[in-house]
Copies of this chain bind each other. A is one copy, B any other.
């Protein structure tokens, strides 16, 4: 493989990992270069196995040696050795993990294909926090959710922080954005109904059904296909979105407490879904 040592921080071959935290020019901005950046051996290995075309691997010599000893990489993949100091200057901060890969974004799978192949999906609305998006993917993957669908107002799942927090699961679990604008995206939920999905809103509303009841029919059998809708912490799902679902479900909370973190609530719903299927 074409392994090269780069000492000059201005070398354009390092542009893929330049200014990683700089808000305007960071390489993972969808409007800019729109790359996917993976950090650390686990996430880099998941990027290499993913549908995203990997452009290059960058790392400290020892970290590259260790990684390449254990992983097969395409023979024509550029691999760049850099010192800790050089990488810190290029990235804009000290990257102590010392191993990065950059890939191009790839088109999303078609919604119909996702829906046909899935038994359980989660639909997010207004989830603007990259860390929550990442945790959501990690929890979804861990508990057998087949895909993540985005309604309006969600943060970019391929932002570096989301990729990292997800432990690379945003690179593995299929996701797609539902069409429409802020006020109309909910209409595309009918596509899910058309595919036979039972649509379940998650809400703290005490009048909603217990989550355990919402995921089974009136003879206690699990629904064949379930879509769990989750809104942002605080505002929750819009009424518009909830009206497009079959049922509203709640996780019972002790009196006088606050609602759970978004990714935690979703994890509980994923668990209950999996439990209903056992």
Residues of chain A having any CB pair with chain B under 8 Å: 135, 138-139, 141-144, 167, 169, 210, 212, 251-254, 257-261, 263-264, 267-268, 271-272, 274-275, 278
Nearest chain B residue, comparing its CB with the CB of A42: B258
Which residue in B143, B258, B268, B278 is a CB contact (below 8 Å) of A210?
Answer: B278
When chains A and B are docked, how far (Å) is the Cα of A135 from the Cα of B260? 9
When chains A and B are docked, how far (Å) is the Cα of A267 from the Cα of B167? 20
User: Do A138 and B253 have beta carbons less than 8 Å apart?
Assistant: no
> Can you sample 14 A-B contacts with CB below 8 Å?
A135-B264, A141-B254, A142-B260, A143-B251, A143-B253, A167-B258, A169-B257, A251-B271, A252-B274, A252-B278, A263-B264, A264-B267, A268-B268, A271-B272
Select the residue from A139, A212, A268 with max chain B CB neighbours within 10 A.
A268
On chain B, the residues within 8 Å of A254 by CB distance are: 141-144
State the Cβ distance, A204 to closest chain B Cβ, in Å. Answer: 10
User: Do B251 and A138 have beta carbons less than 8 Å apart?
Assistant: no
When chains A and B are docked, how far (Å) is the Cα of A212 from the Cα of B276? 11
